[in-house]
């Protein structure tokens, strides 16, 4: 498949269902040639078929919990966990150390590794776009541990090493059973920390690669498997937000957090 200057190519991770699959459909409808991926090697294929990469959508993610009660879970999301007692939270969802580690690995480390892996091909594009699908839950205000909140807020000194320090401390506290004592989030703790880390990483790489357009976006509370189909928005509505960022024209802002189609604070 020969490459031409007018053709654009994209990779979408976690794209076998839900928002990811719909992002693929919408990008393809816009004339983009898309590689749909879910946990497989992609750089060698993209290089041999396309020779470059124009768009990377890091969509792959998991909640890091097991949902036990859909109605209680939905109430937790809507109220940001404030309306439920500890007993109700336990009835709504199961949170474990093993699930937390997997959540960090997929939501943050997976997105970071994918970007680094495909970076050489993105650098061959004349309009590289990176969209990290995040969540409003990853906003700094939801990181209740004051030390971690301070790390994420200190933009001038934010580094990958500092993010790794936060993740290491969080996992250690989780393993030791000291999340509550260290004031980490009461619910969806691993998901919140992972998405906050992804948002911070987005700011770092946007600054490091000024010729790229790199942003993160919360698609909204969408009806998918990850929300046990309790969301407000359809997958079509949710996918439209990362797709819009993937198709931004040259010269568009970079290093921003979007809540659906509006710029929001980190």
pLDDT of residue 93: 85
Give 3-state DSSP helix, strand, coil % of the chain, rounded to 5. 50, 15, 40
CA pair distance 242, 219, nearest whole angstrom: 7
Q: Which of 9, 108, 174, 191 is catalytic?
A: 191
CB–CB of 206/115 below 8 Å? no
Nearest to 13 by CA among 125, 124, 107, 119: 107
pLDDT of residue 90: 85
pLDDT of residue 186: 85
Nearest to 101 by CA among 161, 185, 168, 152: 168
Domains delineated in the chain:
9-264 (3.40.50.720)
Cβ neighbours around 109 below 10 Å, total: 16
> Which regions of the chain are under pLDDT 50?
1-4
pLDDT of residue 160: 97
Q: How far is CA 59 from CA 65, 101, 197, in A?
A: 18, 18, 15
Residue 34 pairs in a beta bridge with: 10
191 classed as catalytic: yes
State pTM to two decimals: 0.90
Nearest to 158 by CA among 199, 124, 127, 121: 199
């Amino acid at each position: 498949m020969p490459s031409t200057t007018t053709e654009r190519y994209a990779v979408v991770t976690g794209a076998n269902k839900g928002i990811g699959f719909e992002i693929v459909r919408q990008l393809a409808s816009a004339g983009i040639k898309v590689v749909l991926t879910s946990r497989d090697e992609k750089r060698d294929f993209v290089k041999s078929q396309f020779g470059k990469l124009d768009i990377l959508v890091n969509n792959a993610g998991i909640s890091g919990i097991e949902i036990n009660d859909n109605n209680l879970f939905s109430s937790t999301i809507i109220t940001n966990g404030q309306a439920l007692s500890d007993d109700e939270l336990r009835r709504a969802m199961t949170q474990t150390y093993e699930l937390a580690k997997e959540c960090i690995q997929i939501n943050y480390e997976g997105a970071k590794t994918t970007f680094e892996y495909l970076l050489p091909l993105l650098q061959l594009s004349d309009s590289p776009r990176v969209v990290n699908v995040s969540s409003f839950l990853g906003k700094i205000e939801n990181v209740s541990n004051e030390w971690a909140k301070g790390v994420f807020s200190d933009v001038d000194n934010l580094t990958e090493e500092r993010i790794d320090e936060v993740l290491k401390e969080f996992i250690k506290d989780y393993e030791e059973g000291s999340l509550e004592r260290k004031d980490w989030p009461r619910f969806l703790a691993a998901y919140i920390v992972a998405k906050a880390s992804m948002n911070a990483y987005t700011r770092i790489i946007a600054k490091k690669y000024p010729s790229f357009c790199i942003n993160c976006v919360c698609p909204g509370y969408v009806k998918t498997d990850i929300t046990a189909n309790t969301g407000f928005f359809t997958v079509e509505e949710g996918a439209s937000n990362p797709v819009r960022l993937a198709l931004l024209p040259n010269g568009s802002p970079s290093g921003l957090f979007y809540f659906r189609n509006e710029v929001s604070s980190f």
